[in-house]
Chains A and B, each alone.
Chain A
Amino acid sequence: MLTTQALPEKTPNIANECKNDAAHVSRRARLAARLKSAVASLSPRGVGGVGARRVRVLPLITAMVALTATTLGTVLLPSHAHAADRLSLLCSADLEWCQLMKSRFEKETGIGVAMIRKSAGEALALLTAQRARPQFDIWWAGSGDSHLQAAFEGLTDAYRSPALSQLQPWAQRFAQVGRDRTVGVYQGLLGIGYNVAELRRRKVDAPRCWRDLLAPGLKGEIQIANPNSSGTAYVALATLVQLMGEDQAFAYMRSLNANVSQYTATGVAPGEAASRGEASVAIEFLHDLVKQRVAGFDIATTAPCEGTGYEIGGMSLVAGAAHPAIAKQFYDFALRADVQSLADQAHAYQLPSNSQAAVPKQAPQPSGIKLIDYDFARYGDPATRKRLLQRWNTEIYAHAR
């Protein structure tokens, strides 16, 4: 066949068949060959042939099977927290402080600590979800309201530590309210923080009292959290109610509404906004505001002159924990004076609950501050909380800017 010599080396099958013996190639075989080459040619390799395809896909499948097997093999091994002798710590303070407590405990006792950091609300939700078989042994730090709620719901165990007598009166009262299912580890005072440069630019005097916040010069310059989502703001709401009486407090907050630019979702957001100049004044816990100042932002703090409230950081043993003995060891460890004095190293400026512990230098000194006698039992009660929040939603938030 002379015509084939004009064709290049690699010719399609059908041409080869022509070359051999055209007459004997059946119509059906030709059709089949045509379809095959049509399908094969649609792949990106073109007429390179289907053989090349096979090599490509098989390693992929092998790799996938291998990966699945690896996953099932290594990743499904039983968790260490349940097997070996390790303390499973649920920590609701700032990351730095959590890491400090963990490393200190490990160094002192040689027992490993598996630490997970969660905000107080998330921690409570997780403990509730895992009620049947808790993943954690002990819950340290976090707003006392959440610890009280956990105590009321039976998620925590009662325990009286030998260090209880060394604690401040407010910490012991807190333990009583929680029926020894929880204890106070620190106290955080509520206060006002402001951006010095911003206020100077707007020619407004620095606020010193709650009533100073109603000044017209501060219109749209104040931020505070939403009490539905933030424990900080709920403490502020309850504080104002206890200071002024409920109706007076709500009238005050209605007037404050005009000056509030945003009810933030988290408790620390107002301080962050004031630090960056997005707002001028923040109503928040003083230790968070001091932390911003220590970091280098131009924030000054003050405690309101009429009086202010506070939160208590709690600690609770988880009911049904896997390692109750080690948990009690950590419980006693966390209430010791020398351990509580370490908070300064972790940039935590709350007031420690052990009366012999050192108060950090930058922390707000309680001597010059007028504190109310915060009623945890009453304002931690779910019914009161629900009623106050409902009232706040309809009277205040509905008319927010």
Chain B
Amino acid sequence: MPAKPRATVDAHAPGHARSATSDRTRGVDGPPRATKSATSEPTDIGGNTAADANIPANTLRMRLSAVSPWPNDGFTRTVLFATVAALLVFVVWPLVNSSFGGLASAWHRAGSGVAAKLGVLQPDVWRLACLRGDGVCGSAWHTIALGVASAVSATLLGTALALLAARHWLARSRVGGALLRGIALLPVITPPFAVGLALILLLGRNGAITRGVADLFGIPAGRWLYGPTGLWLAQCLAFTPVAFLTVLGVVQRLPAVLEEAAATLRATRWQTFRTVTLPMMRPGLANALLLCFIESLADFGNPLVLGGNFRVLSSDLYFAVVGAEQDPGRAAALALWLLLLALAVFVLQRRWLGERSYVAVGGKGGATTALPLDTRLSWGLTALVTPWCLLTAAVYGTLLAGGFVTLWGVDFHWTSAHLVDVFGIDIEGGSLRLTGQAWPSALETLRLSAIAAPLTAAAAVLGGWLIARRRFPGRRLLEATLVAAFAIPGTVIGLAYAQTFNAAPLMLTGTGAILVLSFVFRNMPMGLRTTVGALAQIDPSLDEASATLRAGQWTTLRRVLLPLLRPACAAALIYGFVRAATAVSAVVFLVSADHDLATTYLIGLISNGSYGPALAYAGVLVVALFVIVVSLEGALRAGERRLTAVPRYPHAVALPAKESLT
């Protein structure tokens, strides 16, 4: 292709923000083929590599390397090798070792005949008896229905919150913005069963709100909370922050210049929103939908507490493993179905995003502040998020208050005995003694989460960069594997780790390393999806500019991309920390006496019936995590405040851009 002369001209021309309306087909991630040669074959400006008799030796080597599809720089090769090796050792091998072993033995045990062999795959989860009216549908259908409903509503709410947080005049004030972001992030800190319990205390048949409504309006209290409705409500509550974090980064990076252009063409604010803003937000929306769906697939605590008779795959799988009928073959088959569902949604998401470009951050600065939202739209969004915010505040208020009540439902006297029981401190004779029963597990949780969080963020950013910016054979396969690693139910991976890493060469059971590893590999894909979405918005011409200045890939990543990826990094770090601190299903089989975690300890307290101490523990955990998350977020956003300053040198070429650029 006669690409090079055009490529070099383009690389040096004043860059223009390539918009979604550009008609050059380019990959969403990765430089266009036209300019690929510019980065992989640096020749002199306007030079040719035509087959001449007097080609210097190094040009020939470069030409040969250009033919190879593998990356040719050391940094990318190292990162690729490390990623693939880590995935093979810590994701693929344990799964193959345990789950497929279970499937294989079930296959051998099954009777002869096609029907018996197919029965190993548990087709009863796909039965459609409810359509015939005489029974219950299979749990796979339940899972899909619940997942779609939760994903759509959580994405809707998260997008509304993100738009309000980024564009609404009220949210731009320090207090309003902090409050909104605080409430939006609160449900991420969800100790197991605690939120379900709080919902029952509020909305159950005997709940506070239900009884209040019954007294006021005469509507009889029912058990509507136990079943798909309550489950959907709990999942909406829990997954909106995930969507919020994902979409916020995208919204903050939308090119205001395009919206201004639409305004100068006399489009109303609503038209601009509908035709310019929303399509540009697609990567964020797509990622949010994918993440929320997969979270719903893997949700373990809520179906147990609020599911009622509505069975889903994750709880079916848990009980196949630990229930009265121990059937590891069934568990493996159900895990397979779960993975297939997740991969199907991933494929659909890729189809929807397509190969279009969503670039927002180009090589030229000079962007202006974003237009405020259309008035009716902002009122509509506010009306949408207000009930959610109120419910979140009520649920977490109940959680916090429950720790100080003697016995919720019976004796509402205030007491601090529960708090002292779990977190008592004894200061006598100058020495500090931690007498509460919860200290060891709480401190261990914070320690291991603090170790896992930066590892998770680093892995997420490197992995996202690898997938979005580098090309190599098997890139889509790697991406799909990472999505699968996220979607694997925690029960399966926990048992797989407990079985696989119990002997040489990797004897890890009983240590903290196995917990940290499970955290990193389960939480990394979320940060990775956010990074991929954010990189889709950054023009590859910045990478090219850096390459023409002879910077290697590592330097480009460090000095050009990382600063622009700061929201994604922050999200990955915060999410990695909080998810590590509240992980349940994966760590049930991995904790040991020396490394006990807050979540398993909470489960122990709740099964013991000690609700007072359990709620006190959950409340303190929520407050501690909230403080840590808010300070992390504040520290990571510290640099961005400066962007709102007025540019000082209007005559210079490219000047500090506003919030919308970084």
- Which residues from chain A sit less than 8 Å from chain B, CB to CB? 8, 11-12, 31-32, 34-39, 41-47, 50, 53, 57, 63-64, 67-68, 70-72, 74-82, 88, 94-96, 113-119, 121-122, 124-126, 128-130, 132-133, 135, 145, 149, 220, 226-231, 233-234, 261-263, 265-266, 268, 272, 275-278, 288, 291-292, 295-298, 385-386, 389, 397-401
Contact = CB atoms under 8 A, between A and B. Distances in A.
Contacts of A81: 510, 592-594
B324 A119 contact: no
Contacts of A400: 136, 309
Given A31-B12, A39-B542, A121-B324, 10 more contacts: A35-B545, A43-B563, A70-B451, A124-B326, A129-B589, A233-B324, A234-B324, A268-B607, A276-B206, A295-B609
B545 to A, nearest CB: 6
B289 to A, nearest CB: 29
B324 A79 contact: no
Contacts of A116: 591-593, 596
Contacts of A220: 223
25 contacts: A39-B546, A41-B656, A42-B365, A43-B662, A44-B566, A46-B656, A47-B648, A75-B516, A77-B511, A79-B594, A81-B510, A81-B594, A94-B608, A121-B319, A122-B589, A124-B326, A126-B589, A130-B499, A135-B509, A145-B324, A220-B223, A262-B308, A263-B309, A298-B410, A398-B129
Contacts of A121: 319, 321-324, 326
B223 A278 contact: yes
Interface residues of B, number: 91
A228 B503 contact: no
Contact of B654 (A37, A78, A117): A37
Contacts of B639: 44-45
A84 B323 CA distance: 34
Interface string B623-657: 00000000000000001101100001100111111
B203 to A, nearest CB: 11
B52 interface: no
B553 to A, nearest CB: 15
A261 B607 contact: no
Interface of B: 12, 98, 129, 134-136, 200-201, 204-206, 223, 226, 304, 307-309, 315, 319, 321-326, 328, 361, 363-365, 406-407, 409-411, 451, 454-455, 458, 495, 498-499, 502-503, 507-513, 516, 542, 545-546, 548-549, 558-560, 562-564, 566, 588-589, 591-594, 596, 604-605, 607-610, 639-640, 642-643, 648-649, 652-657, 661-662
A378 to B, nearest CB: 15
A75 B656 contact: no
B574 to A, nearest CB: 15
Nearest to A145: B324
A78 B589 contact: no
A79 B589 contact: no
Given A116-B593, A292-B609, A398-B136, A39 B560 contact: yes
Contacts of A278: 200, 204-206, 223
B12 A88 contact: no
A280 to B, nearest CB: 10
A228 B315 CA distance: 12
B421 to A, nearest CB: 12
Contacts of B643: 44, 46
B604 A95 contact: yes
A44 B563 contact: yes
A3 to B, nearest CB: 11
A347 B369 CA distance: 64
A119 B607 contact: yes
Contacts of A50: 559
Contacts of A35: 545, 548-549
A44 B562 CA distance: 11
A135 B639 CA distance: 49
B516 A130 contact: no
A122 B322 contact: yes
A67 B363 CA distance: 35
A400 B562 CA distance: 55
- Among B323, B498, B655, max chain A CB count under 10 A is at B323
B458 A64 contact: yes
A67 B573 CA distance: 14
B642 A389 contact: no
A261 B454 contact: no
A386 B662 contact: no
Contacts of B589: 122, 125-126, 129
Contacts of A78: 507, 511
Contacts of A88: 593
Contacts of B407: 295-297
A36 B549 contact: yes
Contact of A389 (B136, B324, B605, B657): B324
Contact of B98 (A76, A82, A129): A129
Query: 7 smallest A-B Cβ distances: which pairs?
Result: A121-B322, A79-B510, A114-B593, A46-B656, A277-B206, A229-B319, A129-B499
Contacts of B324: 121, 145, 227-231, 233-234, 385, 389
A226 B319 CA distance: 10
A42 B643 CA distance: 10
B652 A82 contact: no
A376 to B, nearest CB: 14
Contacts of A149: 326
Nearest to A76: B513
Q: Which of A74, A88, A135, A229 has the most CB of B within 10 A?
A: A229
Contacts of A261: 223, 226
Contact of A277 (B205, B507, B607, B649): B205
A262 B564 CA distance: 52
Contacts of B545: 35, 38-39
